[in-house]
Structure 1
Amino acid sequence: MSEIKVGIVGLGRLGKVHARNIAFKIPGAKLVAACSIMEAELQYAKEELKVSETFTSYKEMLEKADLDAVAIVSSSPCHCDQIEKALAKGLHVFTEKPLGVDVEECKKAEKAVEAHPDQVFFLGFMRRFDPSYSYAKKKIEEGAIGTPYMVKATGIDPEAAVEGAIKFAPTSGGLFIDMSSHDVDLIRWFLGSEVKEVYALGANFKHPEFLSCNDTETGAALFQLENGGIAELHVGRTAAHGYHIETEIVGTEGSIRISPVPEKNLAILYDRYGARQECVESFPERFDEAYLLEMQEFIQCIIEKKKPKLSVYDGTRATEICFAMKKSFEEKRLVKLGE
């Protein structure tokens, strides 16, 4: 297979990132079709991406476009149904997180993937492909910090984007569902174990609007893992300085910290406010390279007929843990996974 013909569904902020990467930056891949319910996004695909075929119907794109693979970057409730349909058509599938909006949907996606073992299924947990995170994983595997036993994770969206979070709070699933899956995946990845139980709390000091849909602007969670490891998570929507992602892995012989300052670059500004580093403002900016690397790996898996290290089960597990956090927050108690 000399060239992988890809169709994409969803051309919002992240969809455009994936579409540009497929169209212009990945040898062996060609973006041939795009699907969106927004006319402006289809115009973007035609004019900026030079896509020859555009569709407002996902089903029609699968039936009419000459495709080898699809990239699913649509709204979260659509993912599992679109995964099933694409696999049934014999296509390879890349899907953005979350795998599904509830555990039952994730189980259906598992069955669809299991029924098509010769097709590549790739889940977009892009932080595993970020150079800093993959470097940390390599050092851990080499024994640089001994046995890892704790992860401290922080993920806070900028205050500048909070109005959007408030607007979509009634349908987003809440803070722990909407924003925690990447950190949960990293906790499992770095500690090499499954989460056993979780206790989560929330606080609203700045935006009481979240209370109207039983949500929170800031959340904290403490995890116990099956191998005895522990993790803590701080997730929120009100970072004054920009998009803040930070992770620390603690081991018996040392620790690794990733992005303690969410710096835009290595430049330091010296002015009347002191010495300052500008911060990244959004997830596409912070993980621009990771999005490219994960899509390159997806195409390479198809070409080389190999299975990705990330599986559909990683998506299910992350969803289960996020729902356990939500349950703990709402019921104000410790929740054991699987109860």
Structure 2
Amino acid sequence: MKYLKERGYQIMEKEKVNVVGVIGAGRIGRLHINNMRNMPNVRLKTVSDPQADHMKDWFSESGVENLTKDYKNIISDPEINVVFICAPTSLHVQIITEAAKAGKHIFCEKPICFSDENTCKAHKVVKQAGVKFQLGFNRRFDRNFAKTKELVKNKAIGDLHILKIQSRDPEPPSLEYVSHSGGIFMDMSIHDFDMARFISGSEVEEVYVVGGALINPEIKQYEDIDTALITLKFENGLVGVIDNSRQAVYGYDQQLEAFGSKGSAKVNNEKESSVEVLLKEGVKSSNPLHFFLERYNDAFIEEVEQFFEAINNDEEVPCGFVDGIMAQRIASAAKESLLTGLPIKVEKYQ
């Protein structure tokens, strides 16, 4: 081939095909599978799930070649070069470690782990293996938030002074989910902590939380809340506030404002329709989209496409391990603030 290139012949390189194994076929796993079915040069080879015996009807239409109960069949398959980890958080570090040692690139849903120590150990393994690792903070890839990031970075609104993030789910999760999710700061607010770092371009230095169990008092048994106001102090002097609720009866409420010395950039809710009906009795408009599957599906597609581009072009991933570590540390500080009633410093990652 070198001989031919030296003589001016154009050689078409074989297109790279990423062979994918997906570990976990719950709601988020199936979303990624459905999106990857339509991506060029992606081969969905195997999906694993402990409930595989009950998924045969779904599997027959999934576009995946193999279904297994044991994720180790994916880890041990030399043909699979990319692993998507959509399993419960308690299994993430174990699977990350095994996949990295097997030389596979990794896409992992958040959070990486509830233990900072174990998360950092997994990071070392990934660095030593030299594989790509991307974390599923999909909101970074939403076109509106990405545009706001660009405006802040280019100082179109001047120096950033205040960052407001409003994030409210349409309905609370079950108590069974709360019992193992890590609580509101790990399973819900963690997206907002990542957005705070992403939009501001600065690390969070200190966290202070007030809140309560106003929707379902029973979650108190897990030292958890469902309604929170979180104040953030950033290293660059910026101040931020996050408004979280487990239940917004009108839909998925996802808004953001970046307020600066020259102006403000606002991201409003995506709605079912932009049509407004103006009548004598009043003005009516559509509710926000119901939940994250509807609101962020384009962002889910974009994050995965950029992950494959990073693999194919040997580039840095757009959302890496350190982003996950820092979001977790903010979440842990928020929980400590809730329990102590004090502002808590956020440990830097060295």
| TM over 0.5, shorter chain | yes
1:36–1:56 contact (8 Å) kept in structure 2: yes
The answer to whether structure 1 residue 300 and structure 2 residue 309 are counterparts is yes
Distance change in 2, residues 1:292/1:57 (3 Å): same
Counterpart residue number, 1:235 = 244
Q: Partners in 2 of 1:224 and 1:181 — Cα distance?
A: 16
Distance change in 2, residues 1:206/1:2 (3 Å): closer
- Structure 1 alignment gaps of length 5 or more: none
The answer to whether structure 1 residue 202 and structure 2 residue 211 are counterparts is yes
Q: Partners in 2 of 1:155 and 1:102 — Cα distance?
A: 25
Query: Once the 2 structures are TM-superposed, how far is the Cα of residue 102 of structure 1 from its aligned partner?
Result: 2.1
Q: Partners in 2 of 1:179 and 1:21 — Cα distance?
A: 23
1:198–1:223 contact (8 Å) kept in structure 2: yes
Query: Once the 2 structures are TM-superposed, how far is the Cα of residue 61 of structure 1 from its aligned partner?
Result: 2.1
**Bigger Rg, structure 1 or 2:** 2
The answer to whether structure 1 residue 47 and structure 2 residue 56 are counterparts is no
Counterpart residue number, 2:157 = 145
% of aligned pairs identical? 29
The answer to whether structure 1 residue 178 and structure 2 residue 191 are counterparts is no
Q: Partners in 2 of 1:14 and 1:270 — Cα distance?
A: 39
Counterpart residue number, 2:136 = 124
Counterpart residue number, 1:267 = 275
- Structure 2 alignment gaps of length 5 or more: 1-14
Q: Which moved more, 1:100-109 or 1:228-237?
A: 100-109
Equivalent of residue 291 in structure 2, options 279, 282, 287? 282
Counterpart residue number, 2:84 = 71
1:144–1:253 contact (8 Å) kept in structure 2: yes
Q: Partners in 2 of 1:46 and 1:338 — Cα distance?
A: 44
Counterpart residue number, 1:187 = 196
Deviations 1:122-179 (A, max 9, x none): 11111111111111111222221011132111111113xx2x3333222222111221
Letter in 2 for 1:334: P
Which 4+ residue blocks in structure 1 deviate beyond 4 angstroms?
269-274
Q: Partners in 1 of 2:80 and 2:262 — Cα distance?
A: 50
Q: Partners in 2 of 1:328 and 1:315 — Cα distance?
A: 20
Counterpart residue number, 1:216 = 225
Alignment: residue pair count: 333
Query: Once the 2 structures are TM-superposed, how far is the Cα of residue 264 of structure 1 from its aligned partner?
Result: 2.3
Counterpart residue number, 1:95 = 108
Letter in 2 for 1:286: R
The answer to whether structure 1 residue 33 and structure 2 residue 42 are counterparts is no
Q: Partners in 2 of 1:301 and 1:213 — Cα distance?
A: 39
Query: Once the 2 structures are TM-superposed, how far is the Cα of residue 41 of structure 1 from its aligned partner?
Result: 6.3
Please give the residue correspondences for 1:302-317 in structure 2 after superposition, counting only pairs within 5 Å. 302-317=311-326
Query: Once the 2 structures are TM-superposed, how far is the Cα of residue 332 of structure 1 from its aligned partner?
Result: 1.1
TM-score by length of 2: 0.90
Distance change in 2, residues 1:172/1:285 (3 Å): same
The answer to whether structure 1 residue 10 and structure 2 residue 18 are counterparts is no
